[in-house]
């Protein structure tokens, strides 16, 4: 395990890239089929055929591995829809998140990271910086543009809008009490834009 702290964090070269890809594919497979509890470093090394020391050289912890699983899926979702209309921009963002969380291994990786962040507070900062701030940054950009176009009230608390949208989505994912789908994405954006009053 000492390799995790003494070796360089980034492993370079085509051989490293291919072991990284094999390890991520094996981890995604275990996570997708068997869930977060079954995902252990031992299991990933065995399933990939890559040495455990190599696995630890890429990711010192299971949380770090899950973060990369999440970001690999989420990375290409972080595109700015820029449709010219705040409703359509937000619907695109929520639909992307819903698809990511429900149709890819990112949902299970995200729930695992939420759990890890509560149990090991040290992983919380990385989780916040990598996951939360990247996505918040994109939504903030969309909302600022909407304020400039007068599609949103001047002075509206953008972080609060992000919390209501991201929070409702996360709440359904965590509690699993109601469907996360395109209909939900549209209705949530309409509620946050227009409110629940008559």
Binding site for a copy of itself (CB under 8 A): 35-37, 111-112, 114-121, 124, 128, 132, 136, 150-154, 156-157, 159-161, 163-172, 174-178, 184, 187-188, 191-198
CA 4 from chain center: how many Å? Answer: 24
Residue 15 beta carbon to a copy of itself: minimum distance, rounded to whole angstroms: 34
Specify the residue, 78 or 128, whose C-beta has the smaller distance to a copy of itself. Answer: 128
Residue bearing tokens 């990284």:
20
| Residue 106 CB, nearest approach to a copy of itself (Å) | 14
Q: Which is nearer to a copy of itself, 50 or 161 (CB)?
A: 161
CB of 158 to a copy of itself, least distance (A): 9
**192 closest CA partner among 166, 163, 164:** 164
Give the chain's end-to-end CA distance (angstroms, integer).
60
- Give the residue with the Cβ less far from a copy of itself, 65 or 188: 188
Task: Report, in Å, the least distance between residue 191 CB and a copy of itself.
Answer: 6
> In the 8-state DSSP scheme, what is residue 80?
-
Q: For the CB of residue 120, give the shortest distance to a copy of itself in the complex, in Å.
A: 7
Minimal distance in Å, beta carbon 6 to a copy of itself? 25
Question: How far apart are the C-alpha atoms of 149 and 118, rounded to whole Å?
Answer: 39
User: Between residues 75 and 179, which has the closer beta carbon with respect to a copy of itself?
Assistant: 179
Helix, strand or coil, per DSSP, at residue 179: coil
The string over 144-157, giving b where at least 16 C-beta atoms fall within 10 Å of a residue's C-beta and e elsewhere, is ebbeeeeebeeeee
* Count of all residues that appear for the chain in the document: 198
In the bound state with a copy of itself, the residue whose beta carbon lies nearer, of 51 and 191, is 191
93, 139 contact by CB (below 8 A): yes
Q: Of 102 and 170, which CB lies nearer to a copy of itself in the complex structure?
A: 170
How far, in Å, CA of 27 to CA of 147, rounded? 42
Distance (Å, whole) CA 144 – CA 2: 46
């Amino acid at each position: 395990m000492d390799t995790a702290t003494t070796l360089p964090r980034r492993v370079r070269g085509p051989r490293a890239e291919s072991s990284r890809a094999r390890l991520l594919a094996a981890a995604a497979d275990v996570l997708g089929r068997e869930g977060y509890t079954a995902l252990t470093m031992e299991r990933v090394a065995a399933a990939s055929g890559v040495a455990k020391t190599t696995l630890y050289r890429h990711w010192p912890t299971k949380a770090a591995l899950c973060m990369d699983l999440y970001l690999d899926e989420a990375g290409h979702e972080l595109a700015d829809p820029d449709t010219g209309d705040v409703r359509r921009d937000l619907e695109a963002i929520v639909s992307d998140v819903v698809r990511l969380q429900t149709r890819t291994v990112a949902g299970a990786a995200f729930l695992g990271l939420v759990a890890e962040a509560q149990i090991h507070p040290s992983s919380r900062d990385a989780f916040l910086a990598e996951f939360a701030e990247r996505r918040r940054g994109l939504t903030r950009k969309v909302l600022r543009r909407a304020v400039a176009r007068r599609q949103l009230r001047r002075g509206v608390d953008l972080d609060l809008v992000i919390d209501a949208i991201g929070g409702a989505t996360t709440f359904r994912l965590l509690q699993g009490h109601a469907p996360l789908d395109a209909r939900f994405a549209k209705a949530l954006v309409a509620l946050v834009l227009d409110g629940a009053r008559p």
